[in-house]
Structure 1
Amino acid sequence: MLKNYFKIALRNLQKNKVYSFINIGGLAVGMAVAMLIGLWVYDEVSYNRNYQNYDRIAQVHNHIIEPLEKKADYATTLPQPLAKVLREKYGHLFKHVILLQWAGDYSMRIGENNYVKKGQFFDNGVIDMFSLKMLKGSKESLNDPQAIVISASTSKSLFAEKEPIGQIIKLNNKINCKITGVYEDIAKNSFLGDVQFIGNFENTKANFPEVKANETNWHNSSQRLFVQIADNVSVEQANAAIKNFYFKDAPDDYKKLAKEYQAILYLNPMKNWYLYSDFKDGYPSEGRITFVWLFAIVGLFVLLLACINFMNLSTARSEKRAKEVGIRKAIGSVKSQLVNQFLSESFLVVFFAFIITLILVSISIFPFNELTDKNIKMPFYNLYFWLLCLTFIASTALLSGFYPAFYLSSFEPIKVLKGTIRQDKYASLPRKVLVVVQFTVSIILIIGTVIVYEQIQYAQNRPIGYNKESLIRIPMDDPNFNNNKLIMKEEILRNGLADNVAFSSSPVTSIWDNWGGFTWKGKKAESESSFSVTYINEDYGKTIQWKIKQGRDYSNEFSTDSSAVIINESAAKYIGLKNPIGEFITNDDTQQRRQIIGVVEDVIADSPYEPVKMGFYWYVKNPNDVGQMLVKINPNLSANKALAKIELIQKKLVPSAPFQYKFTSDEYGQKFKSEQLLGKLATLFTFLAIFISCLGLFGLASFVAEQRTKEIGIRKVLGASVASLWRMLSKDFVVLVIISCLIAAPIAYYFMSNWLQKYNYRTEISWWIFAFAGIGAMFITLLTVSYQAIIAALVNPVKSLKSE
């Protein structure tokens, strides 16, 4: 019987090739979208789950209340001595307490060769904590302060088949290290996924005096702190134990500061790091999990659109299959057999669509990875994948075939065989509802996509306070740059490669230092906040082309500039002085007093969606005290030629350092990465949703035209024009699209306005977006329907009437 079902189903598919193509093609595209999104969602939710201690690793955070604004906030950087106290007094709560240095690119010198590798320094215990699989060495491989362990791929790229263990290398030409282990490459979708080597935190203390100096300094919060919770302790228990840490175990002067800020210590579990990276009221709230839910829902809706096509076309062609149902019932078929027959057709369609889906996904997985910056692979060798696929096929087949099967099998045989069955005016109502659902979803996606791009453009068009074009940054971590920085600057300018060259302590697009504890004239007692601090030389302003709003820029002509400060507009507003020029800022710790000589327009160094942080720009005369060179490339030269010549100059002066540079425009562009990804994926899935909807619309339009062949012929004989026939066949679909627009608009407005609320700097939702989506949907509908309508209207009426 089952064989017979599939044989008949196959014959029906062959007999109705156009409808079979629409059904199989639409389902294949819908299933491919759902599968790609499913793989992407799995990659997202499995982030960090490759670590065996996933449920027990956490980062230590501060929860604070800003004294002046009474606003809850959080801090991920903490005082270095906090780690020691946690180990000594709270050791029963934690298996590991680990300080770490920020990950960064390091020049790696091996013999005469230079490489650039990304590395990070941790306290000992990191191998065990993050369950690194050691291919060579053991979890004690980082016991030596100068030890580093490298990934397997890094070992292969550096040493090929040679033995890496014991090799001596030098990082940034000043940090001596010895390779003591090789670990298996870590999954890309994880915290350490892009790190190529791991070193001992003690080595940073030995090579960076500021890190060593802060070992006992409670007032410098520049380190991150990770813990592994003990096996018999829960996160809640650990949080309860350390909540009032500062008031019990910090020095008295720090207790006073902690009380002022109502500081609370708490653990942020690893499961929050990636998916819940946004914070609300100082605690993890949302983040990428919003994208995950959004695209999971989009994937289900796109699959639903494809299933709707199947249901619509199956029920629309019910009259053509009515006699088949009548004859089968007349010779003894029961309803369950007919249901099984039609469900078998559905399973066959879904099976063929699934085969095509696997081909489509396999072909598109590489460009999809490029688009999403992922390393997703087809899990063909995973049993769970195939079990999920079987479930996927069964659920899709039931979803798309359930309604048509029960609808077609409900016909009464007597009425069917007498030819008296006719669909009443409500028979097409379910199909119309499904078409409205299809276009409602498509219009919501169109509106959402436009608003996402509007938000990106709004932020990108925000004044950034400087000129990022043709501006590059060259990191100068190698000690051999010292005493060569000014020479390199002069050589670049002498050769006409740049308009200006400057030095700073951090990139223009980042804030690396935040300081608190400043006093100024008229400061309120509760006004205590942190300011970003950037050390710059006198050419910095000219190089980045910032805008002076009050006062003047730094200049060599003023010897007093060594004790001066330039502040940004946000700092000037916060300080609250009507005329800040000439006033003094004093650092409470060092008692260093600096006079304000200028106010500059806010420079966006953090998120372009957030208010600019209050900032101080401190003058530094000796470029050896800072590690970044900024070069404004001569606009009359091509960037490639200028960079090649700058590289030659550097190699001549500092042959030990690899030439590294970053375009400021690229670094700034990275700030829009998440939103741009959302926009690109939304555009792709919107296009596919519209394509699937149009496939179904095309099929329905062809069916309607076929169904009204005789009517069209009679109308043409009576003098109806092609235009009037086109209007007659198109108007019903236009009405459905108008209804879809009316339903989609408030739904899209509600969800997108909520999405925009997470940005402080956000665009407005304009009326034209809804008009554009509605007109676009109308145009697409008319374009899809018109082909069938015009073809039907142009048919010779003699043929139309003769066929009856």
Structure 2
Amino acid sequence: MNFYNIKISFKNLLKNKLVSSINISGLVIGITISLLVFAYVNKEKNMDQEIADIEYTYTLLNEKDPDISSAMVRHVRSEIPEIEAITFARYTWSPQDFLKKENTDYKLQNLLIADSCFFKVFQFETVYGDPKKALNTADKIVLTQSVAKKIFGDENPIGKELLYNSTNLQNVIVEVGAVIQDLSHHCSWEFDAVLSLDTNYKISWFKSSEEYWGTQNYSAFAKIPSNIDAEVINRKLANISTDNIPEGYREETKFEIQPFTKAYNDLPEIEILKHGNQLTLNIIQIIGFLILLLACINYINLVTAQKIKRLKNIGILKVMGSKKAKVVELIAVESALVLFITFILVIVLSNFLLIGLNQITNSEFTLAEIFSGSNLIIFIGLLAFTFVLTGIIPGIRFSRSQTTALLKNTVNSRSQNHLRNTLLIFQFSITIILLCGILLINKQNNYMSELDPGFDKEQILYAATNPQIEKSSSAFNSEIKRIPEIADYTYTSAPLGYNQSNWALSMINKGEKQEIGFANLFVSPNFFDFFGIKLVQGKQFNHYSEENADWIFNATAFKQFNIEKPEDAVIPRNGKVGKVIAEVEDFNHESIHTSIRPIAFRSCGETNEYIYFKINSSSVASTNRCIRSINKVWENISPNFPMEIKYLDASWEALYKKEKQFQRILNYATIISILLSCLGLISLTYFIVETHTKEIGIRKTNGAKTFEIVKMLNADLVKWVFIACIIACPIAWYALHTWLSGFAYKTELSWWIFALAGIIALGIALLTVSWQSWRAAKINPVESLRYE
């Protein structure tokens, strides 16, 4: 009998190939997409959980700011002995870093500089050596496994020596102290190697800058014992001794610790970590649940519509003596067969879409990871629940129904139609919300792309320089001037948008001393003219500004530091009294996620760590010719440090990659939502046509035209979409208004977004059902009247 039921179920599926395909494909797509979304959400919510004792690891903040100086860390270390270990780290100052073995150079993409306690705080999985002791002295380096294998193959590299070359430090022999496993995509850290901080004392300016309390260029992290509560440490930090803190900084020193696991979402200022966005993640998770819900609704609607055609068959079986258990078994086997096919196809489709998921989210998911943990429970539970809902319950219900009711096809009640319509309204509410989201996010991303940052960024290239370029700067600059495609060039100490230099110094303003904090950037004298940044008052840098230690502040700094005129303020530092000589207009020296903050400019003279080139033509051929000419000059002067040219507009756009990623995810989610909503419409229209076949025949016999029949079948559709709009628009407004609040610069939440979303939803609905309605209206009335 079981084999017979399976055979009958196969015949029923093949008999209605189109409907069966729609039924299964909708469920497969919905479950697959939701599982992929849930896997991504689980990864984002559980970042860094693979690191041992991460629950006892904290980020050190000063006045809620994660930018910390090494002097601050040393002070906390000496004053709070309850802290088990405390460390500080940052990316290398050098734009380019190489490790050399024999005659081969290996470039490091992300080199971290950390003190000796780094691996005492963060305990990564070890491959070779002891990371806790690996950074105890200068000239030590810890490699990740992939870098170690690239350089040394499969041999143990502990104790082996490499030549370290960078744009700040050259020809330093470093020893491999340990090798750790590659950082997984579940880790917010992103580095290839970690260099001992003491190695940098070979840099002439490094030691002097380390002595300043206000040189806040690091991020600091602490590990506390498991038996000590974090609040105990915070109370001690709040009452920390200020005796050894320099005057002027004591009132502004307010330390606290925050769980490290919160840094991923809450502290985007920490540039040595990858970051997420909790609000965006919550939205993506909700979308995953909604897609899953849509798929289940469609499946239930289609199964319900199909069951109507089986009522007379079941009635005949009962007339011929079939027991209730046999009826239940027949319905259950058919449902189980569909769900088994769904189970197989979900695994196949997940494997197919895995590459796309990894590309969109910059992750490294595997199929085993998709079907593990909570995802596996959801998957199995969903199939079991759907089996009960579409197999067991309908089987029991039909088995208990009166045979006459089954034969007369009167089992379905008006309440079922209301439920089906309610589910459809729910589907379109979701679709309209997602359409509103897509429209606004596109509008916001376009706004960010088109917003004038306050400086020219078109037709500008830049590259990191190096000691060879700086040593031969006169010759290099002379050759650059001869390239006809270059209109101008300038130097800076960091790329615009990616400056990590934060200073805190004393300033004398109108005779009164005050402590100020700001971003700092060294620039060539022509920097402001090059980027089209206008002077508000004062005078620009000249050839003597570097020697005179002149300063230029932006308008925000003038306002925040209460400077009325440039000549009112001076900054004593390193035995010199530098004058504030000018105020420049505000521009976005960081991404527009944050408001413009104070920035100070110093003259770097004729060269620095980055050079910008302004191209005098927008043609691709001219740009490529210019790059080849620059590269030729570069290779002659700097053969050991290859030129890595970048486009300023592209690097500026890269600051908003998280928003672009969110937009792509929402685009795909909306497409899936629209597809599932269309399947829901097909199921409903199919049901309506099935239940109105004879009515259509009678109307056509009485002279009704095709257009009138189509209008009748589509009559309620506009009403359903209108109700969905009323439900969706307030929800969408609240969600999008909350999302926009995370931007310092944002577009308007215009009314037309909601109107257009509703119109698009209605258009999709009409296009979906009209074809099926037209087919039903064109059926010969004789066939309709004979329909059983």
Q: TM-score, normalised by structure 1?
A: 0.88
1:516-665 aligned at under 5 Å gives the runs 516-517=504-505, 519=507, 529-550=516-537, 553-555=540-542, 562=548, 564-575=550-561, 580=565, 583-587=567-571, 589=573, 592-595=576-579, 597-623=581-607, 626-635=608-617, 637-665=621-649
Task: Indicate the residue corresponding to 2:469 in structure 1.
Answer: 481
Whole-Å Cα distance in 2 between the matches of residues 270 and 409 of structure 1? 59
Moved more, 447-456 or 716-725: 716-725
CA distance in 1: counterparts of 2:107 and 2:512, whole angstroms: 48
Q: Please give the alpha-carbon distance, in whole angstroms, between the structure 2 residues aligned to 1:397 and 1:607.
A: 51
Tell whether 2:164 aligns with 1:170. yes
What is the aligned-residue RMSD (CA, Å)?
3.2
The counterpart of 1:736, out of the listed 699, 704, 720, is 720
Q: Which residue of 1 aligns with 2:264?
A: 274
Measured against aligned partners, the alpha-carbon deviations of 1:574-629 in whole angstroms (never above 9, x if no partner) come to: 35566x4x534212555855555544332212231322112222223252xx3221
Tell me whether 96-105 or 457-466 shows the greater mean CA deviation: 96-105
User: Which secondary structure does the structure 2 equivalent of 1:275 belong to?
Assistant: helix
- Asked if 1:146 is matched to 2:139, the reply is yes
SS of 1:225's equivalent? strand
Bigger mean CA offset, 610-619 vs 768-777: 610-619
Which residue does 2:293 correspond to in 1? 304
Structure 1 residue 404 displacement after superposition: 5.1
C-alpha contact (below 8 Å) 1:369/1:376 kept by paired residues: yes
Contact 2:545 2:603 (8 Å CA) reproduced: no
CA distance 1:299–1:667, change in 2 (3 Å): same
- How far the C-alpha of 1:778 sits from its partner, in A, is 0.4
Structure 1 CA distance, aligned partners of 2:214 and 2:563? 27
- 2:217 pairs with 1:225: no
Give the distance between the partners of 2:143 and 2:383, measured in 1 at CA.
Answer: 44
Q: Answer yes or no: is the 8 Å Cα contact 1:531–1:614 preserved in 2.
A: yes
- 1:704 counterpart residue number: 688
TM-aligned CA distance change 1:427 to 1:363, over 3 Å: closer
Q: Contact conserved, 1:115 with 1:658, CA < 8 A, in 2?
A: no
Q: What code does the residue aligned with 1:218 have?
A: W
Q: Which residue of 2 aligns with 1:199?
A: 195
Residue number in structure 2 paired with 1:123: 115
Distance 1:569 1:89 in 2: 39
SS of residue in 1 equivalent to 2:310: helix
CA-to-partner distance for each residue in 1:226-252, whole Å, 9 max, x for gaps? 22222332323322332322xx15525
1:393-429 Cα offsets, whole Å, 9 max, x none, are 3245446667756665563334334x27265554410
Task: Find out whether 1:240 has 2:235 as its counterpart.
Answer: yes
Contact 2:73/2:86, CA 8 A, preserved across alignment: yes
Q: Does 1:91 align with 2:91?
A: no
Kept in 2: contact 1:563–1:594 (CA 8 A) = yes
How much identity, in percent, do the aligned residues show? 26
| Alpha-carbon offset, residue 632 of structure 1 | 1.8
Give 1:257 shift: 2.9
Specify the code of the residue in structure 2 equivalent to 1:568: N
Give the equivalent residue in structure 2 for 1:447.
436
8 A contact 1:80–1:223 mirrored in 2: yes
Relative to structure 1, the CA distance from residue 151 to residue 404 in structure 2 (aligned partners, 3 Å threshold; closer, same or farther) is: same
Provide the C-alpha distance between the structure 2 equivalents of 1:411 and 1:225, rounded to a whole number of angstroms. 71
Q: Does 1:512 align with 2:483?
A: no
CA, structure 1 residues 344+749, in 2 after alignment: closer, same or farther (shift >3 Å)? Answer: farther
Deviations 1:417-473 (A, max 9, x none): 4x2726555441010001011111111111112122222222222221111123223
- Structure 1 window deviating more from structure 2 (325-334 vs 48-57): it is 325-334
Query: 1:41 aligns to what?
Result: 41
| Secondary structure of the structure 2 residue equivalent to 1:116 | strand
Offset at residue 520 of structure 1 (A): 6.1
In 1, distance between residues paired with 2:547 and 2:208? Answer: 27
Q: How many residues align structurally?
A: 773
Give the distance between the partners of 2:304 and 2:777, measured in 1 at CA. 24
CA contact (8 A) 1:26 1:692 kept: yes
Change (3 A) 1:400 1:177: farther
Separation of aligned partners in 1, 2:352 and 2:515: 57
Separation (CA, whole Å) in 2 of partners of 1:135 and 1:645:
45
2:39 and 2:369 in contact (8 A); partners too: no
Deviation at 1:569, TM superposition (A): 2.8
Which residue does 2:19 correspond to in 1? 19
* 1:470 matches 2:459: yes
Worse-superposed segment, 440-449 or 479-488: 479-488
Q: Deviations over 1:643-687 (max 9, x none)?
A: 233222112112222322332222211221111111110110011
* 1:730 CA drift (Å): 1.2
Aligned equivalent of 2:310? 321
1:46/1:327 CA distance change after superposition, 3 Å: same
Check 1:377–1:422 CA distance in 2 against 1; reply closer, same or farther (3 A cut).
closer
Deviation of the 1:266 alpha carbon: 1.5
Deviations 1:254-307 (A, max 9, x none): 4x5332x3x42112222112133369xxxxxx9623233222221111011111
Judge which range, 114-123 or 3-12, deviates more: 3-12
CA displacement, residues 774-793 of structure 1 (integer Å, 9 cap, x when unaligned)? 00000000010011011122
| Structure 2 residue 356 is matched with structure 1 residue 367 | yes
Question: Could you tell me how far apart the structure 1 residues matched to 2:12 and 2:435 are?
Answer: 36
Matched, 1:264 2:254: yes
> Match for residue 272 of structure 2?
none
The residue type equivalent to 1:149 in the other structure is V
Which amino acid is 1:484 matched to?
S
Please give the alpha-carbon distance, in whole angstroms, between the structure 2 residues aligned to 1:321 and 1:77.
69
Which consecutive residues of structure 2, in runs of 5 or more, have no partner in the other structure?
A: 270-274
Q: Is contact 1:603-1:612 (8 Å) kept?
A: yes
Q: For the residues of structure 1 that align with 2:431 and 2:396, how far apart are their CA atoms?
A: 28
Query: Equivalents in 1 of 2:549, 2:82: separation in Å?
Result: 49
Give me the whole-angstrom Cα distance separating, in 1, the residues matched to 2:371 and 2:761: 41
Write the distance in 2 (CA, Å) between the matches of 1:568 and 1:257: 23
- Given the alignment, which residue of 760, 763, 780 partners 2:764? 780
Find the aligned partners of 2:538 and 2:389 in 1 and give their Cα distance: 70
Q: 1:338 to 1:430 in 2, by over 3 A?
A: farther
Q: Relative to 1, partners in 2 of residues 1:606 and 1:399: Cα closer, same or farther, differing over 3 Å?
A: farther
Preserved contact between residue 148 and residue 178 of structure 1 (Cα < 8 Å): yes
Spell out the pairing of 1:345-356 with structure 2 (5 A cutoff). 345-356=334-345
CA pair 760-508 structure 1, distance change in 2 beyond 3 A: closer
The residue type equivalent to 2:176 in the other structure is: I
Given residue 508 of structure 1, which amino acid in structure 2 is its aligned partner?
L
Q: Give distance in 2, aligned partners of 1:459 and 1:380.
A: 35
Q: Give SS of 1:240's match.
A: helix
Gapped regions of structure 1 (runs ≥ 5)? 65-73, 280-285
- Structure 1 residues 163 and 40: CA distance shift in structure 2, 3 A: same
Taking a change above 3 Å as real, the CA distance of residues 82 and 560 of structure 1, as seen in their structure-2 partners, is closer
3-state SS of paired residue (1:608): coil
Specify whether residues 4 and 670 from structure 1 end up closer, same or farther in structure 2 by C-alpha distance, changes over 3 A only: same
Cα 1:412–1:382 change in 2 (3 A) is: closer
Q: Measure the CA separation in 1 of the matches of 2:157 and 2:268.
A: 41
Deviations 1:190-243 (A, max 9, x none): 133x31111111112x22344322444323322222222223323233223323
Alignment match, 1:283: none
Q: Which amino acid aligns with 1:569?
A: A
How far apart are the structure 2 equivalents of 1:381 and 1:724? 50
Q: What are the Cα deviations for residues 480-533 of structure 1, in whole angstroms up to 9, with x where unaligned?
A: 3332123222212212242111111221223333333454656999x8642222
Is contact 2:551–2:580 with CA below 8 Å preserved after alignment?
yes
